[in-house]
Amino acid sequence: MKNFYIFSITLVATLGGLLFGYDTAVISGAEGSLQTYFVDSLGLSSFVHGLTVSSALIGCIIGGLLSGYCSSKIGRKYSLIIAAILFLVSALGSAYPEFIFFTPGEPSMSLLITFNIYRIIGGIGVGLASAVAPMYIGEIAPPNLRGRLVSLNQFAIIFGMLVVYFVNWGIAKGETLEWVNTLGWRYMFASEAIPAALFLLLLFFVPETPRYLVSQKKEEKAMRILLKTYDSIMAKATLYEIKQSFKHENQREKIFAYGRAIIAIGILLSVFQQFVGINVALYYAPRIFESMGAGRDASLFQTIVMGLVNVLFTVLAILTVDKFGRKPLLVIGSIGMTIGMLGVAGLAFFEQIGIATLVFIIIYTASFMMSWGPVVWVLLSEIFPNKIRGQALALAVSAQWAANYFISSTYPMMMEVSSGMTYLFYGVMSALSAVFVWKFIPETKGQSLEEIEKILKTSQDVKQAANLS
């Protein structure tokens, strides 16, 4: 019964992940239409097209930065409620940016800016949800289930992408390109309003996390929630551990209280997750498949196939992350991504674009989804101590979205210079990510958040003693 309770509130929180995936991938079906409707009709450059496709990422950076303040001041639950409202506003506004101020069917620079503002609003929601949803799940989940449950958030992200691939394909299937470029892309964005409204409604029925409640001196409320998760003895022991982790008030707001190394590791985990190029494959998937000779409907269908592979390998990560460990999965995933991207790069250099390219892209994305996709979020929810978790996670997530924005917005320009060199860059980053994990990432499998905190504190004390001597 207790596991059912944990699983049910986790599912609600993972709707934030689903909307994260939905919002970031909906652009894959609409980006060609946006180029026709806005960029080409206004005589704008490929740089503007890249900025439009990735404009939501500006909001993601803002949302990531705000997540620390929001999660600390108003709580994890109400931060997710704000994210849900932003998703809803963005879905409707992106679908009909002409609302009130513009004439439908008459693209202009002002309308393009308004569209991008709505996408940025959705991005703020994504940035908030991307930091707070895994934080919420990590703080609710017991240690033996934490890796699996936080990985469910990544599954929800990928499932959201798969759902929107089906939605985009269903909207465009059988319709003329002119209709898709005029109306179809609007339906793609508007469809997000349905899961956003469901997320907003269900959030009113989930509790706040015990660790946030203890930070606000609400131990009785925290105990009531812990009793729904553990038996009475374990609940009391867990509450004692949480209270102990907050007892030194003078350290509470110092983000470097546990040293700079742990912050640097969190940031580098986030940056590597993006510099391997995964969101290029996700945002521009239909266009990549079109370059292989597929028609528009076929390219959207191939994107669905890639989405199904992503879901299957994310499930593999969920099943193994608490048994096999975080570090081995990351190293194996890095090796697979390196093979996949170097294969795509080699084919691009020799202009042999075909079914082999699809195979290497699937090897690459499958490797990411069984490792760097879910496991980075698990580690980010674990490695930061209670007192600085909100601030540190906000910094790491902001760095992640900044790296995402850089990679996604530069992709069209890089491809104009050399497709082979572009994919080679992502392959090299994948190889470097394996080296980084091997040397610097600790294993956190099976330990409570407070136990991990003690290990980090002990490690920092040892380093300081060594420096003094």
Report the CATH number at residue 460. 1.20.1250.20
Q: Report helix, strand or coil for 445.
A: coil
Which residues lie below 8 Å from residue 137, measured CB to CB, with a gap of 6+?
10, 13, 14, 146, 149, 150, 152, 153, 381
On whether residue 238 sits in a domain, the answer given is no
Phi and psi at residue 406, to the nearest 5°:
-60, -50
Instruction: Report the distance separating Cα 189 and Cα 186, nearest Å.
Output: 5
| Cα angle, residue 127 at apex, residues 38 and 288 outer, rounded to 5° | 45
Burial class of residue 462 (count of CB atoms within 10 Å of its CB; 0-12, 13-18, 19+): exposed
Q: Which two tokens stand for residue 321?
A: 């992350």
Q: Is residue 22 part of a domain?
A: yes
State the pLDDT at residue 465: 36
Provide DSSP, 69-94: HHHHHT-HHHHHHHHHHHHHHHHHHH
Tell me which DSSP letter residue 37 carries.
Answer: I
pLDDT in tens, 239-284: 888 888 777 544 445 666 666 788 888 899 999 999 998 877 765 6
Query: Is 133 inside any structural domain?
Result: yes
Residue 214 lies in a domain: no
Q: Is residue 232 part of a domain?
A: no
The least confident of 91-105, 120-134, 347-361, 445-459 is 445-459
Q: How far is CA 70 from the centre of its chain?
A: 18
> What is the pLDDT confidence band of residue 294, given thresholds at 50, 70 and 90?
low
Proportion of the chain above pLDDT 90, given as a percent: 29
Number of domains composing the chain: 1
Q: What does the DSSP assignment read for 227-247? A: HTTS-HHHHHHHHHHHHHHT-
pLDDT of residue 11: 92
pLDDT attached to residue 268: 92
Distance CA 340, CA 365 (A): 8
Residue 103 domain-assigned? Answer: yes
Distance CA 226, CA 235 (A): 5
Residue with tokens 């320009």: 413
Least confident of 172-181, 186-195, 314-323: 314-323
Q: How far is CA 157 from CA 15, 150, 289, 290, 320, in A?
A: 8, 11, 22, 24, 18
Q: Which of 228, 318, 360, 273 is nearest to 14 (CA)?
A: 318
Q: End-to-end CA distance of the chain, in Å?
A: 53
The yes-or-no verdict on residue 300 having pLDDT over 70 is no
Q: Are the C-beta atoms of 152 and 318 separated by less than 8 Å?
A: yes
* Residue predicted with more confidence, 117 or 455: 117
Per-residue pLDDT of 329-350, as tens digits, reads 999 999 999 999 999 888 888 7
For residue 94, the model assigns a pLDDT of 94
Q: Report pLDDT for 386.
A: 72
- Reduced to 3 states (helix: H, G, I; strand: E, B; else coil), residue 174 is coil
Domain of residue 103 covers 2-206+248-468
Give the pLDDT confidence score for residue 469 in this predicted structure: 35
Query: What are the helix (H) ranges across 246-322?
Result: 260-275, 278-283, 285-291, 296-320
Give residue 323's pLDDT.
78
Torsion of CA 457, 463, 464, 469, to 10 degrees: 150
Asked if residue 95 lies in contact with residue 189, where contact means CB atoms within 8 angstroms, the answer is: yes
pLDDT-based confidence at 468, cuts 50/70/90? Answer: very low
pLDDT at 383: 79
| C-alpha–C-alpha distance, residues 152 and 122, integer Å | 22
pLDDT on residue 283: 57
Question: Residue 269 has which token pair?
Answer: 């985990």
Residue 216 within any structural domain of the chain:
no
Is residue 431 domain-resident? Answer: yes
DSSP 8-state code for residue 36: I
Task: Give me the count of residues in the chain.
Answer: 469
pLDDT at 56: 86
CA distance linking residue 363 with residue 356, whole number of Å: 11
